[in-house]
């Protein structure tokens, strides 16, 4: 189900704990889609390296088709999770996620899925290798060696850092977004947290960055 990430389940992995609301999400998806006819819609790359179809799922119901991704996100049972080669319909999914988050539905009432604060790098380090949403103000934006660095603190080896690599910069240009102009703005970054001289997220496409407010 491209464009979304639901709470993860072990799926046979002995060393993997069920994420909060994982079982509830599975039950909700089963109720929505199991034993029903569906149609698949493709908005980008159609298969991944494992041979899985990367599709939007439309469920046939007596009242018409239901878009499974939007339904799950709207219920707070999944987050938006985008890829640079599969970006169709993200605006609708972002809107559904925003409404669910503001209403505290599903995962958004559980601290495990909270939007994290960029000003707490020590907490963010505990979320390394996790997919997170992080909000903060960019205090320093600079370009070095073909990369853009967006720092939410004064100490780049300790504070939360967003890195935009050279291939992604071309996408920002095409999207009429100039990353250095973001200095001073409040943003929300989504992606996988890693630990390289402090917590950071690497951006591969503009949809990972949302401008929330301008100073």
pLDDT of residue 175: 60
User: Cβ(63)–Cβ(185) under 8 Å?
Assistant: no
Among 10-19, 77-86, 170-179, the range with the most confident prediction by mean pLDDT is 77-86
Share of the chain above pLDDT 90, in %: 67
Fold annotation for 3-111:
OB fold (Dihydrolipoamide Acetyltransferase, E2P) (2.40.50)
Average pLDDT over residues 128-133: 95
User: Which top CATH class is 115-213?
Assistant: mainly beta
pLDDT of residue 43: 85
Over residues 17-52, the pLDDT tens digits come to 889 999 999 999 999 999 999 999 998 899 988 999
3-111 against 115-213: fold identical: yes
Non-local (6+) Cβ contacts of 126 within 8 A are none
Average pLDDT over residues 130-154: 91
Ramachandran quadrant class, 174 (left: phi over 0; alpha: psi -120 to 50; beta: rest): alpha
Average pLDDT over residues 97-110: 97
pLDDT of residue 214: 66
Strands 116-117, 131-137: pairing kind: parallel
**Which element (helix H / strand E) includes 177?**
none
Average pLDDT over residues 171-175: 73
Domain ranges of the chain: 3-111, 115-213
First to last CA, the chain: 37
pLDDT of residue 33: 95
């Amino acid at each position: 189900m491209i464009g979304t990430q639901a709470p993860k389940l072990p799926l046979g992995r002995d060393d993997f704990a069920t994420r909060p609301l994982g079982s509830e999400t599975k039950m909700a998806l089963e109720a929505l889609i199991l034993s029903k006819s569906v149609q698949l819609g493709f908005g980008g790359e159609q298969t991944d390296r494992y041979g899985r179809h990367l599709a939007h799922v439309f469920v046939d119901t007596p009242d018409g088709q239901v878009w499974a991704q939007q339904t799950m996100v709207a219920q707070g049972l999944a987050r938006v999770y985008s890829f640079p080669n599969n970006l169709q319909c993200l605006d609708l999914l972002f809107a559904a996620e925003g409404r669910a988050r503001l209403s505290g539905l599903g995962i958004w009432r559980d601290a495990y899925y909270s939007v994290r604060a960029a000003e707490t790098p020590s907490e963010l380090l505990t979320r390394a290798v996790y997919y997170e949403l992080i909000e903060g103000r960019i205090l320093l934006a600079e370009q070095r060696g073909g990369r853009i660095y967006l720092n939410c603190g004064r100490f780049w080896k300790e504070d939360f850092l967003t890195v935009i690599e050279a291939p992604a910069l071309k996408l920002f240009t095409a999207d009429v977004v100039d990353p250095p102009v973001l200095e001073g703005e409040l943003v929300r970054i989504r992606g996988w947290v890693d630990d390289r001289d402090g917590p950071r997220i690497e951006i591969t496409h503009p949809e990972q960055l949302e401008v929330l407010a301008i100073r």
